[in-house]
Amino acid sequence: MPEVFDCLGLGIAPVDILMQLKDYPEAGGKADALRTTIQGGGPIPTAMVTLARLGKKPALLAVVGDDIFGKFAVDELTNEKVDTSLVITKKKPSAFAVGWVEKKSGRRSIVLDLNIEISPGDIKLKDLPYVRAVHLDGRYLPACLKLARWAKRKKIPVIMDIGSIRNDVSELLPLVNHLICAEEYALPFTRQKHIKDAIKKLRTKCPGTVVVTSGTKGSLGFDNESGYIRQRAYKIKAVDTTGAGDVYHGAYIFGFLNGWSLKKRMEIASAAAAIKCTRPGGRTAIPTFARVRRFLKMGVKKYA
């Protein structure tokens, strides 16, 4: 019997070098790092790690370079129980990111050096395993279109994450069943001032479930069964917000795979993202399902 995975993710697999600073230096200035964290990063890989820690069986389709960064990224994913048999190594430099995290607020700024990309030719449809869901972020649009069209033919739901406007994904949106996007994308893309109006506009292009995340302001979602659902962001002392959105997406997919309502999906996603922010790095504090349940049962203050 062929191997079955809960979710197949397609996306960039960089290594993140994150430095915590007391304050950001001004242009031309210098600053000493309080601590440095080196971990695998990328929106889709981090969402797959989240799924694995919550108890699901994810796989990743990505490309890495034939260098120390590529090996580091793949080894870490393998250790996290993310299947990497579809990860391709190319004779190019790997993608990596350098980030600065402000100690007081936990806010981060990231500079990404892509170096390498996934092309449609890297996706061998005949070699793809059976999967229950597909997760994309639209960065490599031609490759994303190929995988999304395959998923549609196979009647496999597609979940897409969009954090900001990078390219025109209009052709991809009708293939998406669940769109989770940041406010920074939703408002300018739809040319609306209010999130509810942006969701209405997005649903003319993506008629499935739409969720818009707004950081500390929480998230607003809509599906035909539940109508509008508002989820607050849990107020925790943020140490590092790197990857919070990616963890939200992974936990949302976990809830979807479990057949949960939109309300419950958004609740667990918000809780998992909050827990992630309590320690440095994009993946260090990604929780297990037991930790999320404890967080929701005890409340933020008692949990902390």
**pLDDT tens for residues 89-121?**
999 999 989 988 888 887 788 888 888 999 999
**pLDDT tens for residues 55-65?**
999 999 999 99
Superfamily of domain 4-14+43-96+116-303 in the CATH hierarchy: Ribokinase (3.40.1190.20)
CB-based contacts of 200, cutoff 8 Å, min separation 6: none
Q: Does residue 86 contact residue 127 with C-beta atoms inside 8 Å? A: yes
Can you give the pLDDT at residue 86?
96
For the entire predicted model, the pTM comes to: 0.93
Can you give the pLDDT at residue 100?
87
Domain ranges, ordered by start, for the chain: 4-14+43-96+116-303
CB-based contacts of 15, cutoff 8 Å, min separation 6: 38, 39, 40, 41, 69, 72, 73, 94, 95, 96, 97
CA distance 292 to 298: 10
Can you give the pLDDT at residue 153?
98
**pLDDT tens for residues 24-34?**
888 888 889 99
Can you give the pLDDT at residue 110?
86
Nearest to 183 by CA among 155, 210, 159, 205: 210
Q: How many CA atoms lie within 13 A of 236 on its CB side?
A: 27
CA distance 139 to 169: 9
Q: Does residue 97 contact residue 45 with C-beta atoms inside 8 Å? A: no
**pLDDT tens for residues 212-258?**
999 999 999 999 999 999 999 998 888 888 899 999 999 999 999 99
CA distance 115 to 297: 44
CB atoms within 10 A of CB 295: 22
